[in-house]
Structure 1
Amino acid sequence: MYSKDEVSQLKQQFWTAFGQYIAPQLSAEGLRVNWINYKTGLKHVYFKMQADKRSAVIAIELTHPDPGIQELFFEQFKEFKNIMHAALEEPWTWELHAQDEYGKTISRIYKQIDGVSIFNKSDWPSLISFFKPRIIALDEFWNDVKYGFDALK
């Protein structure tokens, strides 16, 4: 078991290492981007990467507090599903109105791998190999479709 400080420190070390590894990668628009805290430019729409002791997840999270508006965003993403799958080259899981770890209603589109741990440094190459191509593909996808969400701003 790790102490709270050790858990925090290991997570910080991983995300720092990942950030340094991916930093040279420019966005689809040719700009520098903070990949770990990716900004979609759209309130309540987030690209999230998370890892814990058992798995890793990369997701598009829709967090609008109004479930109806959240569903509109989800439906808009469904309109672009073919473009998304072409960019990612794999199917992702689609969840409308799920609960996050805090009991808040969110919708999300995500890919998860199991059997990896952020606390095992020998898993870090696998985690980086999981996150890097997917966040880059999400950026390419978002660059192509973000204007399709202007009406929902």
Structure 2
Amino acid sequence: MYSKAEKSKIRKDFWTAFGQYMKPVPSAEGKKINWPNYKTGVKHIFFKMKAERDFASIGIEFTHTDPELQQLYFEQLITFKSILHNTLGEEWKWTLHHEDEYGKYISKVEKGLTKVNVLDQNDWPKIISFLKPRIILLDEFWSNMKPAFEEL
């Protein structure tokens, strides 16, 4: 069993390792990018990657506090659903107005990987292999679709 501080350090070490692993990979626009803390450049839209004790996930989250505006962003992404899924090469889960672990309502589109544990370094290659291609493809998708969200 790990202490809270040990868990925190292991998670930090994982994200540092992931960032170092991804460092040589340029964005779709050929720029240097901080992959673990990807910035979409559009307020209230985030690309979130998680690595926990029983899963890893990656997704697009809409966090606007106004439910109608959050839904507008979500519906805008729905119009690009086939482009997103074609870019990613797989279907993702779509959820409108989901209560997150902090009690806030968000909308999200995500893909998860089960039966991995970030606290087990033996699982890190599986988690990285899951996250890496998807964040790169999300960046590719976003480089083409971002203007449609900047206008909202």
Q: TM-score range by the shorter chain?
A: over 0.9
Partner of 2:73 in structure 1? 73
Partner of 1:122 in structure 2? 122
Partner of 2:5 in structure 1? 5
Amino acid paired to 2:60: I
- Report SS of the residue matched to 2:41: coil
Alpha-carbon distance between aligned partners in 1 of 2:31 and 2:83, rounded to the nearest angstrom: 22
Give the superposition deviation at 1:150. 2.3
* Structure 2: runs of 5+ lacking an equivalent: none
Paired residues, number: 152
Partner of 1:104 in structure 2? 104
Mapped pair 1:95 → 2:86: no
Identical-residue share of aligned pairs (%): 55
Amino acid paired to 2:27: S
In the TM superposition, 1:16-95 aligns within 5 A as: 16-95=16-95
- Report SS of the residue matched to 1:29: coil
TM-score normalised over the length of structure 1: 0.98
1:37-72, Cα deviation, whole Å (9 max, x unpaired):
101000000001001110001010100000000000
Partner of 1:131 in structure 2? 131
Alpha-carbon distance between aligned partners in 2 of 1:53 and 1:88, rounded to the nearest angstrom: 25
Amino acid paired to 2:17: A
Amino acid paired to 1:48: K
- Deviating 4+ runs (over 3 angstroms): none
Alpha-carbon distance between aligned partners in 2 of 1:150 and 1:113, rounded to the nearest angstrom: 30
Two-structure CA RMSD over aligned residues (Å):
0.5
TM-score normalised over the length of structure 2: 0.99
Alpha-carbon distance between aligned partners in 2 of 1:15 and 1:91, rounded to the nearest angstrom: 26
